[in-house]
């Protein structure tokens, strides 16, 4: 059984239709049927039961379906690793990033990187912060970018500038001008927050003696800014999100709360950094790329 047969079988088993599988694989249906029959004869088992109405996967077929998927994924991973140990001029750079980081940072880095390594492709995935270390251990990603606080065993990291969480809204009058605000500035405010920050903000408010009023918990940072721009509440966002919307209506206030200054880092597994990923780290360190905010805010 070769890789091509595995691919054929997986497509048939997933679609449960020889006609649809042949169309997807761009091969003739009789040829695909012969490949399946040859595979069943080689293994000595029935993989798929076929009737005039439907096609079902047998217990033996399900085992092969799972194992074939694992083998093909391992093959793809191995090809990636083999390419990565070359000169680092071609291949795929896989980055895992948590959703609370403004993805506006990453395109600027990748644009700079692409100019030096035009044959490298990019795969950017969003994950929860708790998932990124495991993805690195499994070598499903090369680098993780997160609001890191502690250095994990057997990991290395490159510290990026810390990012404060700021208040953004249509009307922030009544607050101290030109000064960072204490946590009590959030009292009686309808708060718009990313779900990632809910627990931390709740803890800080409760320690200050009041319950926060969360009007909306939103996963999409652009939605948070748009809601704030509608004047229905105050958004709490990392400062590096401010370039996601163009407006002259929003006001911004910093918060004098050390816990709301979020450290940011690129992390990777020790002794597992490919040349492709190393070039990316080198670029960040040498170029000192800085992302400037495009949003025009009323700062009072």
Given this model, what pLDDT does residue 235 score? 92
State the pLDDT at residue 6: 87
Q: Which tops the pLDDT comparison, 174 or 293? A: 174
Please give the structure tokens belonging to residue 197.
């920050």
Q: At what angle do helices 18-25 and 29-43 cross, to 10 degrees?
A: 110
Q: Which of 106-120, 195-209, 234-248 has the highest mean pLDDT?
A: 195-209
The whole-number pLDDT of residue 193 equals 93
* pLDDT, tens digit, 9 for 90 and up, residues 174-184: 666 667 788 99
- pLDDT on residue 119: 85
Integer Cα distance of 115 and 95 in angstroms? 18
Q: Which helix (H) or strand (E) holds 213?
A: strand 213-218
pLDDT band at 143 (very low <50, low <70, confident <90, very high): very high
Q: How confident is the model at residue 157 (pLDDT cuts 50, 70, 90)?
A: confident
Whether 294 has a pLDDT exceeding 50, the answer reads no
* Average pLDDT of the chain, as a whole number: 82
pLDDT, average across residues 42-64: 87
How far is 253 from 166, CA to CA, in rounded Å?
6
Taking alpha carbons only, the member of 196, 254, 203, 247 closest to residue 221 is 196
| pLDDT value of residue 296 | 37
Q: Mark 37-67 as b/e (b = at least 16 C-beta within 10 Å).
A: eebbeeeeeebbeeeeeeeebeeebeebbee
Alpha-carbon span 164 to 272, nearest angstrom: 31
Please compute the mean of the pLDDT values over residues 49-74 and round it to a whole number. 87
191, exposed or middle or buried, with CB in 10 Å at 0-12, 13-18, 19+? buried
Q: What angle do CA 137, 142, 146 make, to 5 degrees?
A: 85
Domains and CATH numbers, the chain: 3-80 (1.10.10.10), 90-162+262-287 (3.40.190.10), 163-261 (3.40.190.10)
pLDDT the model gives residue 181: 85
169 pLDDT exceeds 80? yes
- Per-residue pLDDT, 178: 60
Split at pLDDT 50, 70, 90, the class of 81 is: low
Comparing C-alpha atoms, which of 234, 237, 264, 269 is closest to residue 251?
A: 234
Q: Is 274 a residue whose pLDDT tops 80?
A: yes
Q: Tell me the two tokens of residue 211.
A: 């319950």
What is the CA angle 152-102-167, rounded to 5? 105
114: confidence class by pLDDT, cuts 50, 70, 90: very high
Residues 280-287: what's their mean pLDDT? 82
Angle between helices 275-287 and 59-84 (to 10 degrees): 50
CB atoms within 10 A of CB 20: 14
Q: Are residues 121 and 92 in contact, defined by beta-carbon separation less than 8 angstroms?
A: yes
Residue 70 has pLDDT above 60, yes or no: yes
pLDDT at 289: 47
Looking at residues 128-135, what average pLDDT do you find?
85
How much is the pLDDT for 63? 93
Burial class (CB within 10 angstroms; exposed 0-12, middle 13-18, buried 19+) of 177: exposed
User: Could you tell me the pLDDT band of residue 202, with boundaries at 50, 70 and 90?
Assistant: very high
Mean pLDDT confidence for 113-123: 89
- Using DSSP's 3-state secondary structure scheme, residue 83 falls into helix
Q: Identify the pLDDT of residue 86.
A: 62
Task: Give the confidence band of 148 by pLDDT, cuts at 50, 70, 90.
Answer: low
CA 253 – CA 172 distance, rounded (Å): 8
| Residues 269, 273: Cα–Cα separation, whole Å | 7
Helix/strand/coil for 159: strand
Whole-angstrom Cα distance, residue 114 to residue 124? 14
* 91: nearest Cα among 119, 63, 116: 119
Confidence at residue 147, expressed as pLDDT on a 0 to 100 scale: 73
- The residue-averaged pLDDT of 30-34 equals 91
């Amino acid at each position: 059984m070769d890789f091509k047969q595995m691919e054929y079988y997986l497509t048939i088993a997933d679609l449960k239709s020889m006609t649809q599988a042949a169309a997807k694989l761009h091969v003739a249906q009789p040829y695909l049927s012969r490949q399946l029959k040859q595979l069943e004869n080689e293994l000595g088992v029935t993989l798929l039961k076929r009737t005039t109405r439907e096609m079902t996967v047998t217990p033996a077929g399900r085992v092969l379906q799972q194992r074939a998927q694992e083998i093909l994924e391992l093959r793809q991973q191995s090809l990636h690793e083999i390419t990565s140990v070359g000169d680092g001029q071609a291949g795929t750079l896989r980055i895992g990033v948590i959703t609370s980081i403004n993805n506006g940072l990453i395109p600027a880095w990748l644009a700079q990187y692409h100019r030096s390594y035009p044959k490298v492709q990019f795969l950017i995935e969003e994950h929860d912060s708790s998932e990124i270390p495991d993805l690195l251990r499994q070598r499903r990603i090369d680098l993780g970018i997160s609001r890191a606080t502690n250095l994990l065993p057997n990991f290395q990291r490159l510290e990026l500038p810390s990012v404060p969480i700021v208040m953004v809204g249509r009307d922030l009058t009544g607050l101290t001008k030109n000064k960072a605000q204490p946590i009590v500035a959030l009292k009686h405010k309808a708060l718009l927050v990313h779900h990632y920050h809910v627990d931390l903000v709740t803890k800080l408010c409760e320690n200050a003696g009041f319950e926060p009023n969360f009007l909306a918990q939103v996963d999409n940072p652009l939605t948070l800014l748009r809601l704030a721009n509608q004047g229905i509440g105050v958004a709490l966002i990392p400062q590096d999100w401010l370039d996601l919307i163009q407006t002259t209506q929003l006001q911004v206030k910093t918060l004098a709360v050390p816990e709301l200054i979020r450290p940011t880092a690129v992390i990777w597994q020790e002794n597992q950094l490919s040349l492709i990923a190393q070039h990316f780290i080198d670029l960040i360190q040498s170029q000192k790329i800085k992302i400037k905010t495009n949003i025009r805010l009323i700062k009072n």
